[in-house]
Structure 1
């Protein structure tokens, strides 16, 4: 399973009502660090598909969601569980750092 793009209209169903934790990548096309984080999250998605779902929200196209969660700096990677933000990571980070931050939700694969 790879990352999926989610719009404002899909956010509730795909993220808030998900039956497993969801890592949300708030990003924009023009953001260089966001493009660096993208492949890292793809790898996490592929390696931990049983434990978490990984989605991407383009903040330019979905400003309502970005505003609702106070996204002022990107890339912003939030982990939602049971419809609530549980953890957040701001800025481009290597895979090992993101896996460590979200380890409680990634399972032991």
Structure 2
């Protein structure tokens, strides 16, 4: 079964302010984009356990016009924000990993 990283052309994360991370999932091919959406795998209920957070903290926003999906969630290392003493990824650039191996039917 293909994974999200094999279907997406871009899978990246970055800060969305000091307290949130945004994950961008972009597709060149319409069929790959539609397949991921139709799979039902990119839901807050499926994403939340990967990041050890509550489903209510996850937002999944598809953008049909540009074949992209944005996932927004709180930073994993506490509420002190980007650059705090326990922050392991100041720029939020390495937080897309848990989604990479998500299997897409």
TM-score by length of 2: 0.33
- Give the TM-score, by structure 1 length: 0.32
Structure with bigger gyration radius: 2
